Amino acid sequence: MEHVTLDVTDGVATVTLDHPEMRNALTSGVATDLIAAMEEIPDDARCVVLAGNGPTFCAGGDIDAMVDGLESEAPAHERVQRIVDETAGAVRAVATCDLPTVAKIHGPAYGAGGALAVACDVLLASESASISFGFRQVGLNVDSGASHLLPRVVGENVAKELLFTGELIDAERAAEVGLFNHVFPDDEFDARVAGTVDRIATGPTVALKQSKRLVEQGLTSSLDEAVENEAAAQIVSASTDDHEEGVRAFVASRDPEFEGE
């Protein structure tokens, strides 16, 4: 992979967009590499962190490709298909990961880059971070799955406002509307993110994966369906070594040492 790196350390798979000269925009190469990186995350990983190299998290779609498209004779449906296959495919690869995912947002996340951020389960931002769903700025409607992801995070009316205005909002405002889980001081950002990620990565991985799936199912389930789904998942979690460790640790008044199994 040329424009995305994958590092796995102590169960944490860090996927980094590594095309800073293009502000980590989801060019064809970056999108394809991101999909490949998500597919290569090993089975023993316990948490995924999505980050960007350089001052920008992700600048969104490939503007150069849009210009080339306007100057070409390719019909609109062919140009849009690339977005579906590549840009939205990259967002989908993150959104459908069964492990807990954390977006580490240190700078702007713009357009499809915003969609990529909200595709993660937890969004951690520095004070210098900002986010926008500025598809309107280039005369386009929302895409990359943001119409599905964004209102589930901030609600329908806030999602529409962010899309209608295309406003680039700062970290404080993003936290106020529920986009960012936490905003950390710039000089503490790496350490504070590492602490949160460690808390997730050292948890009972099987149970956390089940909880992630259940919350996502719960958005469209009735209460009775949710209870049934939880009961079925609990059979899986209750069969793990981590469940036994958790119970024994609780009885012994000590911290559990989960192994992810």
Higher pLDDT, 65 or 102: 102
Average pLDDT of span 30-56: 97
Q: What gap in Å lies between CA 198 and CA 195, rounded to an integer?
A: 5
Average pLDDT, rounded, for the chain: 93
With tokens 């995305």, the residue in question is 4
Q: What gap in Å lies between CA 230 and CA 97, rounded to an integer?
A: 19
Tokens (6 digits) for 261: 């199994």
pLDDT of residue 140: 87
pLDDT of residue 119: 98
pLDDT tens for 186-201 read 999 999 999 999 999 9
Please state whether beta strands 47-52 and 122-126 pair in parallel, antiparallel, or not at all (unpaired).
unpaired
Residue 68 has pLDDT above 60, yes or no: no
CB count within 10 Å of CB 103 equals 28
Residues 6+ apart with CB under 8 A from 29: 2, 3, 19
pLDDT tens for 8-21 read 999 999 999 999 99
Residue 62 has pLDDT above 70, yes or no: no
pLDDT of residue 21: 93
- List the alpha helices (DSSP H) in the chain: 28-39, 63-71, 76-82, 88-95, 112-118, 146-154, 156-165, 171-176, 189-201, 205-218, 223-237, 241-251
pLDDT of residue 137: 86
Enumerate domains of the chain plus CATH numbers: 4-201 (3.90.226.10), 205-251 (1.10.12)
Residue 69 has pLDDT above 60, yes or no: no
Please state whether beta strands 169-170 and 130-132 pair in parallel, antiparallel, or not at all (unpaired).
antiparallel
pLDDT of residue 41: 98
